[in-house]
Chains A and B, each alone.
Chain A
Amino acid sequence: MTDAVKPNVETTLVNLTIDNVPVSVPKGTLVVDAAKRIGIDIPVFCYHPKLEPVGMCRMCLVDIGLPAVNRETGKVETDKQGRPVINFGRALQTGCTVEVAEGMVVVGYTEKVQKARQDVLEFLLTSHPLDCPICDKGGECPLQNLTMAHGRSDSRFIFDEKIKLAKHVPLGEMIFLDRERCIQCARCTRFQDEIADDPVIGFEARGRSLQIVTYSEPGFDSIWSGNTTDICPVGALTTTDFRFGARPWELQASASLCTHCPVGCNTTLNTRREAKAGGEMVVKRVMPRQNEEVNEIWLCDKGRFAHHYAAKDDGRLTGPLVRRDGKLVAATWEKALALVAEKFEGAGKGLVTLAGGKLTNEDLYNLAGLAKARGGKALLDSRMAGGDLTAQVGLSTGSNLADLGKGDAALVVACDLEEEAPLWWLRVKQAAERGATVIVANPRRTKLERHAAFTLRYEYGHEAALVTALVGSFSPKRADLPAAVQALIRDKDVKDAGQAIAGAKDLIVFYGSEGTGLAESAALARACANLLIGTGHIGRPNNGLVAVWDKANAQGGWDMGLRPSADLAADLGAAKAAYIVAADPAGDSPALAEAVKAAGFVVVQDIRLSATAELADVVLPAAAFTERDGTFTSGERRVQRLHPAVPAYAGLRGDFAVTAQIAARLGVAQEKRLATGVFNQIAASVPAYAGLTSAALSEVREQWPVIGRGDVYYGGTTYDNKQGLGVQLPVSGDSPALTFEQPAEPAKFKGLKAVPVTRLYDRGTTVTPSAVLHPRLPGAFIALSVEDADKMKIEPGQKVQATLNGVTVEVEAHIDNSLAQGVVLAPRSFGLAIEGPCEITVKK
């Protein structure tokens, strides 16, 4: 990105004309971008507005003139009419590498320039296979489009002399390279170097043999790989998921959201009616939808590829099931709902609802409403706390991570940000590149550290102590702080980081769930809030607390009044009736499975038959996120809307509607027809959402860079955002008092201590149905410190028996040399029974 398009940069304007149209743009703007701003297309291949220019493809050649300056007077020379004399260079220049200058004259319509475009295209096509009819990019291909616009009508190159190269080269399991189609523009390699910071692909050899290769093992080892297929200007890079799957012009586009993490990336679902799906509409691919305040034009590979769990395959529930003689059998909606209502009625205050964090605000609102009306419990399936604090001191309206720069700071604590919320990693990294001070506090090494000004290590369990120490480093000495905090305050890096935080213009604190359970998370969130309050970094845009939630809509869950359970097993076990929606406690942990079995009457509502559903008395099916309307609230407290892309199975509705039907039978009136109806109720009753309308969520503003579908040559195949950028909620304004709760000392264990960590590619129910990701899903594993592995004589990759909370699983042993002795990493959603720090025994 050039300085000119970076926000947060002081800018002086420069005046020039492009094709006789006067334009003023910030100093440092490149000629192609200046033209783009006034709607003039200078064709490009290698240039991309998000990448550093390289000037390789030569497609953007234009005539550039500068005012003649008199050597003696230093004044611009003028002709008889008083117009400035313009000197044009002998050769054309690449508009993608030349910065604008005062008085510059750029011309693109002359024969010379038009001829140059034709020539460059002719050169490109000499080596190009022109297999458009079977090319995935056909229909949305810059090379096709620009050839139509500027190319010759004949071919002077002898077809038989065309170079023949490999056409199906797997760079990794997810991305294929067609060497014949590659036009050597280096967009993919620059994306990996500059944006993803995973320089795992590059050029090899030279001349016409110059080709893209991967350096990593496994190939193209990056969670960002899919983006290269969007910005590749030809069909050289394709995804395993989509290649040869459909033609772009057959696809319909629906605005949606990624539901995998709290970032809330804007997506477009491309769908097609398909014979092999019995004439049903099918989601063919997930594409990024531009939102410069959220995901820009990118998606991580999980967001792009892990959509198959919503597909209409054999695993989907299509009708209600009721347990009869110990077996789940099909039942009518009427029968199933009547039974559920009867049992809930009987349960009275003993109704426990457990809601998954992937549900929409509307679902959560109705669920919480039902529980509240019945005097029952409304629980959120999450192991993180602090949703009340983020509502008070979270990011407020008008915040944009792209605004963080020099003088600002971001603290990321107890979080492997790239694994927990990839796009935030990317945006915080960019903030660091713009000069923001990034402080990473984590007990082990994470990728964000490469961009950190301060890397702070602490012992697992001391995350709240670390943050309290940061507060302590600039506030008056307090003798009553625990020893762990006192010790951390004396650390020079902690002190310096504390100073940087205190002095930052804007500060955003991200806290994740590295090594924490609910109790630790609560202490951490509280400490982070203290830090923000203590340094006055609240109540303003680009300041505040961001929870890197374990579920995409956990924030919405808190806002709708649901709370995580401090003891879910106890709560479920004691339930007279349990209503479990889009959550799979039994699948998550054997202890919770026992609790589900102990519950009185169990209703599970989901899209697939989960482990918990197998134990249920009644199973109710619901429409998947691809089939319905609704809103999500991201970790940045942005309310965004998703739209149905494919029709649901007959009779299936969004979760809110199923809940409303149960509620109706219990005499509780709830909106059951339209999600927007529920949304209006939310706007009327939840203070932070007051006054929100669907129309407001659908508002769009002009975004820079301008990337529309017609501009695939410029920005790639990302969709432009016509369906709404969402609305960031205001903070409540009632700043909580600075309260120094003493961070508790972490529990000590006799043996090894296991701590839960999050991996982007886990073995949870939303990832495993996507076969395309399978080669990249690790098996169950634990990570040991070098010392412990040595002591137990365990080799990396060796299979061991790990016992947590009484459950033994065979796992592969990894070794992490940044881990402290005595600590074992246990990833979530890999079948290990871990909710928070606990004891682990490892046997060979």
Chain B
Amino acid sequence: MSTVKGSHILLRHRDNPALSTFEGYIKDGGFKTWKQVVTRMTPEAVVNEVFDSGLRGRGGAGFPTGLKWRFIDKNNWPHYVVVNADESEPGTFKDREIMESNPWQFLEGVMLTAYAVNANVAYIYLRGEFWMLAAELDKQIARLRKEKLLGMKLFGTDYELELHTHLGAGAYICGEETALLESLEGKLGQPRLRPPFPPSFGLYGKPTIVNNVETLANVPLIIEKGAKWYRKFGTEKSPGTKIFSLSGRVAKPGNYELPLGTTYGDLIMTHGGGIPEGRKIKAIMSAGASSTLIVADDKALATPMDYESVPALGAQLGSASIIVIDETVDLKWLVDKTVHFFNHESCGKCTPCREGTYWMNNITQRILHGEAEQKDVDLLKDVAMNMKGKCLCALGEFATEAVVSSIERFPKDFKIKAGAKTIAGELKVMHD
């Protein structure tokens, strides 16, 4: 039986570092579930267990995983599983830790998923910068093949499974599932029109389940210990634990696996050790660069981090990459930084995002360099508002979140003083 301490379902290696080795994982009961499932369970039973667990996608959208698996088109074959290991959201570094330190649990999760949706091939799509990780995973997959945990006629059944890794070429948009599929097919990474969604039209036009690394790393324990056990963590509608990637102006940045529903205050102040040097917290970005800025008041700090509560703050849980912003940060700088990121990463497929991010970046640069007037701030917000609701994929929407929320919620930062000198130089020293 796999050992679980506290709320570490995914970061179990922190309690038992041996898990990162094949032997250590086996010793802890690893791959017993795999054998059990392939030899004794029907794919439907696996899907049902995950459905009952209430597990929701950890890639950002929080879509119920079991429901997604049920959507797979059973009249069109073959099926594929694709793991989204693109982890490109600024401030997100959880998938990496899982794959680096608890790889076997992750791989077992991928394998169980493939079995559940009747796929015989699964691809792990990693961002290009993860090439060392991919090399490790390749070795680990080879080991699984050698141990006859992968390959033909598994455990004497007719089921066969192969895993492959694939490296992206460094585009953030390739984390968006349909752009990822395009990229995996060897094409330019641009999102597809949806619908149809991947479970009916995915890789090479075939039914495909795309899930995040963290999502799938939950599966082995859900199957082993049951949906009921899993539901002991988290809240009614957001069951389970979540790895919160904590970064920014906080004393102890890092990954924290905590039950969903833990408050921001608990994460930042208790686990993260608060803000260094006695400075005050100003804002929270709840989902990396793709977030609105939450005013970090008492209400916000008391808000539970789950899929239902965060929207009440005008924000999203997303990939739960929490970036802490303290009182010394000028949001002009922050907004320029995020807009620059999206301008750089817009795939260019649709007009509002391709042109809007470019335009916004021109304006944020002017604002940052003290070359703007107050009406440029209004223009910036207007451009962002004009992008909203018109883009082909969520990236374009993400690009407007920090802009609009900062200007609306932190108007002081965007008051342009007449004749104000550039603040860029000053900020450079602080942040580079």
Contact = CB atoms under 8 A, between A and B. Distances in A.
A90 interface: yes
Nearest to A184: B348
Contact of B348 (A126, A202, A209): A209
B89 interface: no
Interface residues of B, number: 30
A210 B359 contact: no
A203 interface: yes
B391 interface: yes
A158 interface: yes
B355 A123 contact: yes
Interface in B338-376: 343-352, 354-359, 362
Contacts of A244: none
Contacts of B348: 184, 203, 205-210
Contacts of A158: 362
Contacts of A119: 352, 386, 390
A156 B359 CA distance: 10
Contacts of B379: 156
A124 B350 CA distance: 10
A749 interface: no
B404 to A, nearest CB: 15
A800 interface: no
A91 interface: yes
A205 B190 CA distance: 10
Contacts of A122: 386
Contacts of A97: 193
A207 B350 contact: no
A61 B390 CA distance: 8
B322 interface: no
Interface in A18-60: 53-59
Contacts of A702: none
B359 A157 contact: yes
A640 interface: no
Contacts of B329: none
Interface string B360-403: 00100000000000000001000000110111100000000000
A204 interface: yes
B390 A126 contact: no
A123 B350 CA distance: 10
A207 B351 contact: no
B391 A58 contact: yes
A56 B355 CA distance: 12
B371 to A, nearest CB: 10
B386 A56 contact: no
Nearest to B379: A156
Contact of B352 (A123, A183, A202): A123
Nearest to A205: B348
B355 A58 contact: no
Given A55-B193, A58-B390, A203-B188, A126 B359 contact: yes
Contact of A92 (B171, B345, B347, B389): B389
B347 A210 contact: yes
A206 B389 contact: no
B173 interface: yes
Nearest to B187: A202
Given A123-B355, A123-B356, A91 B389 contact: yes
A127 interface: yes
A126 B193 contact: no
Contact of A207 (B193, B346, B386, B389): B346
B354 A208 contact: yes
Contact of B390 (A53, A54, A92, A204): A92
A157 B190 CA distance: 27
Nearest to B358: A208
7 contacts: A56-B349, A58-B352, A119-B386, A126-B358, A207-B357, A207-B358, A210-B347
9 nearest CB pairs, A to B: A210-B348, A123-B355, A91-B389, A119-B386, A207-B346, A207-B348, A208-B358, A206-B347, A55-B193
Given A55-B392, A126-B355, 18 more contacts: A54-B193, A58-B351, A91-B390, A92-B389, A92-B390, A119-B352, A120-B351, A122-B386, A123-B355, A158-B362, A183-B351, A203-B348, A204-B188, A205-B348, A206-B347, A206-B348, A207-B344, A208-B358
